[in-house]
Amino acid sequence: MAVYLHEEDLPEGILAPGPVAVDTETMGLITPRDRLCLLQISDGQGDEHLVRFAPGSDFAAPNLKAVLADPARLKLYHFARFDLAAVEHYLGVTAAPVFCTKIASKLVRTYTDRHGLKDLVRELLGKEVSKQQQSSDWGAPELSEAQREYAASDVRYLHAMHTILVERLAREGRTALAQACFDFLPARAQLDLAGWPEHDIFSHAAA
């Protein structure tokens, strides 16, 4: 198992076929303001790849975009809504089809309100994930080893959790409901980017 850092794009053909786990690191939580600094991706075979974008990047990244936009590849996320918006805004592609472990967790782990990645990895896989580097400077000229490890860990366990959560969704009869949620996520991300990040357009309340 190794963590590889690439500048501006993913090397061609480096990923095995099949689903890929995806995550992003940005300068903050407001997507149009806080630039995309890093995108993490893994094919689930044991290695994690980090693609770093410099300040002023044109985000060309043809190899990465081809993977993210491939309709035959399932993309696994934890809180897909944020990552989809960042990818859409900066890379200009819709990184779907989608499976979101956070949504799946909320649909099947109704016995808890703890749906963060750390809690989910601990319960489902018996592993520990450190979130110490979550709030750090991802736009720094050099990424520390701790930052690289944190970023890699965000995609390291998504394939294994996907397998378990698919089984639980089927067991609880919520597979179709989950899929409908996943299918809507690209549109939800576009609503965020278009100016409706908080307002529920489905609610009766006027705003």
**Which residue intervals of the chain are DSSP H helices?**
62-69, 80-91, 101-108, 117-125, 145-156, 158-171, 175-194
- Cβ(95)–Cβ(175) below 8 Å: no
pLDDT at 206: 67
Residues 6+ apart with CB under 8 A from 201: 191
Specify the amino acid at residue 12: E
Write phi, then psi, for 24 (nearest 5 degrees): -135, 155
- The residues near 85 (Cβ < 8 Å, ≥ 6 apart) are 31, 189, 190, 192, 193
Q: Give the start-to-end residue ranges of the domains of the chain.
A: 3-194
What is the pTM assigned to this prediction?
A: 0.95
How many whole angstroms separate alpha carbon 100 and alpha carbon 188? 13
Q: What is the pLDDT of residue 137?
A: 95
Angstrom distance (rounded) from CA 155 to CA 77: 8
Under CATH, which number does the domain 3-194 receive?
A: 3.30.420.10
Helix (H) or strand (E) holding 27, with range, is none
Closest CA to 91 of 26, 45, 161: 26
**pLDDT of the residue at 133:** 65
Contact between 102 and 121 (Cβ < 8 Å): no
Amino acid at 106: K
Mean pLDDT by runs of 10 across the 207 residues of the chain is: 96 97 97 98 98 98 98 98 98 98 98 96 92 82 94 97 98 98 98 92 80
